[in-house]
């Protein structure tokens, strides 16, 4: 039977959870900051801050429109069009990002293609050596290698890339 | 560690999937129609129509704002404020609904309390004998009994009620 749209959402969330859990372990003991691209309702930000309470987490979105209890601190919220804010932040924090989570996919294919191009073209210099990039969209980021998904995650439902040393 | 908002969404979707799969099996061979309360993006409607291709599925929402490929047929879409449309449909289809799925919870506690009261007070007469009511909100529907969730679903993340004979 074909995967329904509900199946795809569920499999994406299950894969995302497994990938994030793997990444939280993987970066243990390594210095670096975190980027969360796409605040949305704030659910993933809530997840990341809960598991990484001691990390600086910078959150990117056009606006703050999330759960009241998931609003990032003002000095960590980078507001604006990601086509501008992401390249700027990549320059500002070059080489410092140990975990970059990009949950920027949406309903529209056009939007998704634009985000794939933007992220693929700009993110690499932000990552620390062996820094991790988790994405709901398939990306093609120079200087990174794809990492097989951890158990519990269905290949193709989420993506992990690691910056080469 | 506390459940994050992302954990709650994932557990709800996993529980919903298990409950729906159980319900599709449970109603096999029994006549009756289906109510889907809350079209939203259309994901659950897509799931239900895929698994129950031969059932009449009536979908309720204030508006049609879903994926293009998930728009219900006009004569099965019941548009309007559910405070009016649900009681009307319950009268129209009294005793005919073999599966009623209500995914009406939202971000706001006030909205959720209103929906719990509306659904608890109105739905019972719609259900066929042993008809099933699946809900993301805990309900208190007279003449129904709570059914333990199937394996894979975490208690409290979704709810199943069955109309008594």
Nearest-Cα residue of chain A relative to residue B48? A4
Helix (H) or strand (E) holding B164: none
List, for residues B98-144, the tens digit of each pLDDT value: 999 999 888 778 889 999 999 999 999 999 999 999 999 999 999 99
Nearest-Cα residue of chain A relative to residue B5? A43
Considering only the C-alpha atoms of chain B, give the largest distance between any 2 of them, rounded to a whole number of Å: 48
A165 pLDDT band, cuts 50/70/90, is: confident
Cα→Cα distances A44→A37, A98, A119, A130, B72, Å: 10, 17, 19, 22, 31
Q: What is the ipTM of this complex?
A: 0.94
For chain B, the first-to-last Cα distance in angstroms comes to: 43
Contact A43 B13 (CB under 8 A): no
Could you give the CA distance from residue A36 to residue A57 in angstroms, rounded to a whole number?
A: 7
A76: containing domain: 5-163
> Structurally, how many domains does chain A consist of?
1
**pLDDT tops 90 at residue A76:** yes
Could you give the CA distance from residue B98 to residue A8 in angstroms, rounded to a whole number?
A: 26
Chain A CB within 8 Å of residue B51 CB: yes
Could you give the CA distance from residue A54 to residue A66 in angstroms, rounded to a whole number?
A: 22
Could you give the CA distance from residue B132 to residue B144 in angstroms, rounded to a whole number?
A: 9
- CATH number assigned to the domain comprising residue B123: 3.40.50.150
Chain B CB within 8 Å of residue A3 CB: no
pLDDT of residue A161: 98
Q: Let me know: does B43 contact B71? Beta carbons within 8 Å.
A: no
List, for residues A41-75, the tens digit of each pLDDT value: 999 999 999 999 999 999 999 999 999 999 999 99
**The model's pTM:** 0.92
Q: Cα–Cα–Cα angle for B85, B90, B92, nearest 5°? A: 90
pLDDT of residue B80: 97
Nearest-Cα residue of chain B relative to residue A49? B4
List, for residues A82-105, the tens digit of each pLDDT value: 999 999 999 999 999 999 999 988
Could you give the CA distance from residue B5 to residue B3 in angstroms, rounded to a whole number?
A: 7
Could you give the CA distance from residue B120 to residue A115 in angstroms, rounded to a whole number?
A: 44
Mutation for testing the A interface, residue in B6, B12, B23 having most A CBs under 10 Å: B6
Contact B50 A14 (CB under 8 A): no
Rg (CA), chain B: 15
Residues of B with Cβ-Cβ distance to A70 under 8 angstroms: 5
Chain A CB within 8 Å of residue B110 CB: no
How close B34 gets to chain A, by Cα (Å)?
Answer: 18
List, for residues A107-141, the tens digit of each pLDDT value: 778 889 999 999 999 999 999 999 999 999 999 99
Could you give the CA distance from residue A85 to residue A79 in angstroms, rounded to a whole number?
A: 7
Q: Tell me what the mean pLDDT of segment B75-86 comes to.
A: 97
């Amino acid at each position: 039977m074909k995967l329904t749209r509900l199946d795809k959402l569920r499999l994406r969330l299950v894969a995302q959870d497994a990938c994030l859990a793997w990444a939280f372990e993987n970066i243990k003991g390594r210095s670096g900051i975190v980027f969360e691209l796409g605040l949305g309702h704030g659910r993933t930000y809530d997840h990341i801050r809960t598991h990484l309470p001691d990390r600086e987490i910078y959150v990117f979105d056009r606006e703050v429109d999330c759960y009241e209890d998931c609003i990032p601190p003002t000095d960590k919220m980078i507001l604006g069009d990601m086509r501008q804010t992401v390249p700027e932040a990549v320059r500002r924090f070059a080489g410092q990002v140990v975990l970059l989570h990009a949950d920027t996919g949406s309903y529209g294919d056009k939007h998704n293609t634009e985000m794939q191009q933007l992220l693929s073209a700009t993110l690499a210099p932000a990552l620390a050596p062996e820094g991790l990039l988790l994405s709901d969209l398939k990306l093609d980021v120079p200087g990174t290698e794809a990492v097989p998904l951890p158990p519990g995650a269905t290949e193709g439902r989420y993506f992990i890339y690691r910056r080469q040393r």
